[in-house]
Amino acid sequence: MTKRKAALCFTGGKDCTLALHRAVRSEEFDICLLVTFAPANMQKFKAHPMSVVEMQTQSIGIPHKVCLVDGPDFLGSYRTHITGLKEEYGIEALVTGDILDVCHSFMPRAVETTGVELVRPLWEAPRSEILEDIWTQQFDVLVSCLNITKFDSGLDIESFVGKKLTRELLEKVREHNVKSGLDVDLAGEYGEFHTMVLDAPLFKSKLDATGGQIIRDGDFAYWSFSKTEPYDKERCSSVLTDGWWLDSSYKNWQPAGCMMHTYKPQEIEDCFTGTRILFVGDSVVRNQFYGVAKLINPDVDTSGEKHTDRRLGYEEAEFTLEFWWDPYLNSTRTLSMLEGQNSDKAPNLVVFGTGLWYLRYEGEDAFSGWKSAVDKVFDAAKMPSPIAHSLLLSPVEEPDYDHLNQDRAVTIRPDAVQMMNSYLENQVSIMKPSPARLVVPFAWNLMSDNIGDVSVDGLHFNPTITAMQAEVLLNFKCNDQLPKTFPMDHTCCYRYPITRWYQNVIFFVILICVPFALYLRSSEKPLFNSSLYRLIPSEKALTAAFMFGIGVVYMYFCDRTTLFAKAQKQFDPTVFGILILVTLVAGLVTMKSSKREGDQGFLNRDQTDEWKGWMQIIILIYHYLAASGTSGIYNPIRVLVAAYLFQTGYGHFFFFYKKGDFGIARFMNVMVRLNLLTVVLEYAMNTNYLSYYFTPLVSFWFIVIWTMMYVGNAYNKNPWFILGKMAVFMALTTYIIKGDGIMKGIFDIFEFLFNIHWNPVEWQFRLSLDAWIVYIGMLCAFITIKFGEMKISERPQWPMIKRLSIVVSIVAMIWYFWFELSQPSKIEYNVYHPYISWIPIISFIILRNATLKLRNTSSTIYAFIGKCSLETFIGQFHMWLAADTKGLLVVLQPAGWVRGLGWWINMFVSTALFVYVSYWLSQSTGEITTYLCSKSPAPEAGRQHNATGGQDGVPLLPTNLTPEEQQLRIENEEVLVRPQKRGLLDSVDFIWQDLRLRTFQQVIQDQAYLGQGSKAKSTYPPVDPHAYWQHNQVSHLPYWRIMQTPTSNQTAYLYSWNAKRRHWRRTKLNL
């Protein structure tokens, strides 16, 4: 029997797919075409996305055609298309998946006069039979749309939309009907829901619909099918199709899910060097041509005859920018180019645009004439030999209808423009990729949608809009050609660089080596002998290393892959004020008094942790909202950075002065703790050490403080000596920082020796802003110590001094804010900042410690952030902010939802993840540092106290210990006994301590006090060793002579040292 040719109405749903299955199985019909009758306004076809329909038809392997139908005569439109299908394909029948007559016999009337038979294999079949057949044939059906009005208001949408149509799901529908009293059709025949088939017996491959999202639109809920959308792996679709303005001045356009790059003239020339860029179309396209030209040269001449060609040549870059006036896209040269017959050099990029002239002058034939013109463009994109490297077709511009003159308003109607753009959307969704991919930047129309008065005549928008349209074009075309180095602040149409060998090594160690070592360490039966087994770090250290590594890998995926979207920053004073207010309230409600009794002391640990915490939160908000452009906010933030450095000077000076521990172990402990995360990120993210400016800043000043306190440390207790050293080092560092060419010379040496490329200008700027605040911190620590020693607070004048200092601090604080707000710009403020930053800092310290209650009270939430402030500052670069701090990380999907309320939700979710990861990074970094750098013993025994009897001043690093644990650690550090197990760093530290330079006088004095040497015996009377121990605690004796003896047997200790003194003296003389 001869099969009859037939076309099948196909929308991708369960009914039409089952009808196709039965028609093919019947062997009566030869289904030669799948036809989709779609509304001209494709927005009404969301339940059956055309991109998914096209994938279905490709999987089935039957040709597919889309026929756009439009009103008001829908019946006539159907008949025209059916007749055309009969003539073009020779069909005799039209098969549909209709089950019931829900449209007043629409399809039978549509085929009445066409001579095509209507075939309905499912007509009036029981719904239960249809559903059972679907399940029997193992159809994979997804609910793609839900009409919410057809269901009870308490329906859980997420349990239906995006779910597979199974017996269990329909059982829920039955239960819903019983509870609600509604009669929802189990097959959705009355529009209750729509479906899309992902797999069926006729499909060659299954469609993947995972990763989609539910989208609410009025009374309907749709499944987005995000993973089935074409060519958006590099977020090109984001920049071309969706976006919104972030500011009221229309200068910051936010594409959905990516960050745009603002192009400089040289970058544009580099992108198009040796090429030809062509614009073809009407006056709208001419404006876009000038938009690109003005980005290269803002003074380009735009005068002259309007309806004529333009050509701009750039000799240095050897590229040309051309415009062809062809409002109908039907000139001979345009058609020749579209047919591939143009003998000229193929352009790198061609931008076509038309539509408004058809509407203005072609009357009823406007749509058909325009459709014919753009179809030629789409056909050209499918040619085997591309006519250009890239093709871009401008959407039909949506005018500012309120500003159109009367003649234009009559013919250029919103419905006509919408129908044209809907056709373009449909063609783009069904177009197969070609060597010269054609894209339609619908985002261009969104830029001018409901934004106010940006057009004089309603057709031609002002340069702000056309410049941003040009930026979108450049981001689409040129982003992937930009250097793939940090900061990677352009993520639209951008492929991240592949990992380098050292990045692969880091990830291999984190993801393979550390877990394997952890497995070996935790296994009950060691796989190696005891000698090799000792090389494996402890389980605690390995666990910390793994946690640390996972944090680094998380940051890599956040900021070096397309897994997470990125968004641009925009300062909003209202949002800034709200976040600062929330921060203040959170701090106040978490205030609590210390559990320890008595005065906790001036600048005690809880207080400094709190101080670091609230400063860190404000700095994070400042970065998140890009508030650096506001001078009144930037200036106080500079003071907060200076306050961190003040704490560095204060804490380290206090520690070295009180403890006198200048050992290698102490030095390395601080340096590793400060730099571990930064150095690993520098290589893992392929960035620059100085880009994480806070770490190198505090590291530099720590080295300065350590060096200053070490040099001549035997005389550190002499006030004039220590103050003199401060003055000398202040002059020396100022000369290095501000001296012409000194920093550049140092960096040139680094570059020559280590191939390190650092920016001396930027680093000099960072250092010079706070060139003296560290010394102010050290001076404050010295004064605090002397106040305690002199017991100033116990003198009768103290109450008056305290009240006066409080009054002066209040006045100074008020003066500072008046001064910084009165500065015309932050550049001029920076000139004064190094000289005045100490004023608000000292004022705050005095006010914060004014009373016992204030000293003993602190905020737990601020202190929590303060203890991991180093990790939050460094981690923000890649897992809270994005693009190396240039943008914001988007953790919600879809990325286009992150606006309005979605922006706030994304911020809170990303903040929670950021703080959580930062906390564990802090914990693990501390543990790794402890493993790598064992603490050296303190050279001075005995308990030390600060001025007010509180805790010792220690370097203000992030701490992970409770106050009780911190106090216990201090006590343990003060025990003068060598550890039983010593690591390599301990051994190096002991040797270092032996090599510490001492004066010859001190060596002679050591001998004299121990009763050795004829000169000593004649000069100094013998001293009882017990009395000498109690008085001086032999603090200056070398560590490697400290024997492992009980601390109670000091006499034996002294005699043991005395027996070895000659060797020690020879070591000194040899040195």
Any idea which residues carry the catalytic annotation? 283, 457, 460
Element (H, E) at 281: strand 276-281
Helix (H) or strand (E) segment spanning residue 193: strand 193-199
Helix, strand or coil for residue 497? coil
What 3-state DSSP class applies to 102?
A: coil
DSSP state of 453: S
Kind plus residue range of the DSSP H or E element containing 221:
strand 220-223
- Collapsing DSSP to helix, strand or coil, 999 comes out as coil
Strand positions, DSSP E, 373-523: 390-393, 438-439
Assign 3-class secondary structure to 503-558. Answer: HHHHHHHHHHHHHHHHHHHHCCCCCCCHHHHCCCCCHHHHHHHHHHHHHHHHHHHH
Rounded to whole angstroms, the Cα distance separating 1050 from 1058 reads: 12
Place of tokens 């380098």: 500
| Dihedral class, residue 601 (left if φ above 0, else alpha if ψ from -120 to 50, else beta) | left
Rounded to a whole number of angstroms, the distance between the first and last alpha carbons of the chain is 111
The encoded tokens of residue 541 equal 């250290």
Q: How many CB atoms lie within 10 A of CB 424?
A: 20
Alpha-carbon span 346 to 274, nearest angstrom: 12
**Bond preceding residue 72 cis, omega within 30 of 0:** yes
Is the preceding omega at residue 955 within 30 degrees of 0, hence cis?
no
Select from 371, 411, 378 the least CA-distant residue to 393.
378
Alpha helices in 91-218 (DSSP H): 106-110, 127-136, 167-180
Let me know: does 653 contact 729? Beta carbons within 8 Å: no
Amino acid at 383: M
| Helix boundaries (H) for 995-1049 | 1000-1009, 1014-1019, 1025-1032
Q: Which two tokens stand for residue 95?
A: 């098969």
Sign of the four-CA dihedral 437, 438, 442, 445: positive
Q: Which helix (H) or strand (E) holds 881?
A: strand 881-882
CA-CA distance, 530 to 526, in Å (whole number)?
Answer: 8
197-220 burial, b at 16+ Cβ within 10 Å, e below that, comes to bbbbebbeeebebeebbebeeeeb
